[in-house]
Structure 1
Amino acid sequence: MSPAQKNAAAARALRHLQGLRMWQHARHIGLYLAYASETPTDTLIALAHQQHKQVYVPRITGEGLMQMHELRAHDPCHRNGYGIREPRITRPIRPLRQLDLLLIPLIGFDPNGYRLGTGGGFYDRYLARRVGHHPPCIGWAFHLQLIPAVPRAPWDQPLDGIITERGMQWPTGS
């Protein structure tokens, strides 16, 4: 997809997301700063800030764990050792259980809610700390990333849903 096509698809996905109660009621949202072929999040982050939602994005610790740090509008970012943008300024960490919604990047996803990531396992380790389905974990994707089946390992964590430019897709079961 061209950058213009990606941005147009992300804008359509954003319109679908805004109609969901989970977005409307969320005040503390975990997002990500898009990297490589991931679905763009800049407009999503700007909207969240405009709606007075607190935004948290991942930072990778020296131990290889992921933590969600607050990202305020206009905070400077830099690229970490993986080439992924993260806030330069460390702000408060928000524990997973205190997020209202978590939007997750992916390379591919299947109808059962499993995702392909970039292979670092950061999100799987992070989601393993989740209790039940809180917070709701939603993939932020392009519909063309849907594949018949994602290879799974015992530690892979399914998503609660995936939102694309075509709307919300709920897992069909595993």
Structure 2
Amino acid sequence: MEEKKKLRQELINQREALSKQEWQEKSLALCEHLQQFLAHATVVSPQRIILSYFYFRQEPNLDPLFELKQYNWGVPRCVGETLNWHCYQPSDPLEKGKFGIREPKPEAPLCPVEKVDLILVPAVGCDHRGYRLGYGGGFYDRLFEQSPWRDIPKVGIIFDFAFVPKVPVEAWDIPLDGVCTDCGWRISL
């Protein structure tokens, strides 16, 4: 557990040390890789939903993807110990959640899980096995344990320096199906 905490802090410090310009350039490069993937992917069907997130502490910024009108988007709202997923369009009103992260308002329509094709998962770090290092709150781990969430393809989103040789793993950790960075796909979906 101490090893996990140390690695988490090292990677967060490295991410937060990026200049604003580096952060923006890396985020845009990552969005380009995801956009190319989505343009050719058979994983996402028309009228289905891609779940994403709003960046926090200089995580990769995926906001430009929300402008791709050919896809339906969902974003999380933290409710207690769980994530509720709400449909989202760039014109929708947002508010700051309990962790200071932008969230949809509680009245925003919920995403039906049976219409979700793909989950873009924020991470502090990932490894070649698909294991993800998060912030330690367990929100995504609890989500991925539940059926039908466990069967939906999950892609870890990190900057390339956060693709590490090995993430310390707990018994409850569920590996991701893919990992995409600003340098491209480290684990292809």
TM-score (norm 1): 0.86
Q: Tell me, what secondary structure is at the counterpart of 1:19?
A: helix
- 1:73 maps to 90
Q: Tell me, what secondary structure is at the counterpart of 1:100?
A: strand
**Structure 1: 5+ residue runs without aligned partners?**
none
The alpha carbon displacement at 1:129 in A equals 1.5
Match of 2:151 among 115, 119, 134: 134
CA distance in 2, matches of 1:97, 1:121: 23
CA distance in 1, matches of 2:45, 2:20: 31
- 1:60 maps to 78
- 1:170 maps to 187
**Structure 2: 5+ residue runs without aligned partners?**
1-17
Q: State the identity as a percent.
A: 35
- Indicate yes or no: 2:26 matched with 1:9: yes
- Indicate yes or no: 2:52 matched with 1:31: yes
User: Once the two structures are superposed, what CA deviation does each residue of 1:100-155 show, in whole Å capped at 9, x if it has no partner?
Assistant: 11100011111111111111100011111245963210011110111121111111
The alpha carbon displacement at 1:82 in A equals 1.4
Deviates more, 1:89-98 or 1:154-163: 89-98
The alpha carbon displacement at 1:89 in A equals 5.0
Pairs aligned (count): 167
- 1:40 maps to 61
CA distance in 2, matches of 1:61, 1:89: 9
1:86-101 residue pairs with structure 2 within 5 A? 86-88=103-105, 90-101=107-118
Q: Which runs of structure 1 show a deviation greater than 4 angstroms over 4 or more consecutive aligned residues?
A: 130-133
Kindly indicate which of the two structures has a greater share of residues assigned to helix.
2
TM-score (norm 2): 0.80
The alpha carbon displacement at 1:73 in A equals 2.0
Match of 2:170 among 146, 153, 159: 153
Give RMSD over aligned pairs. Answer: 2.0
CA 1:22–1:125 in structure 2 vs 1: closer, same or farther (change >3 Å)? farther
Deviates more, 1:17-26 or 1:119-128: 17-26
User: Once the two structures are superposed, what CA deviation does each residue of 1:62-119 show, in whole Å capped at 9, x if it has no partner?
Assistant: 3x11111111222121111111110125222224443111100011111111111111
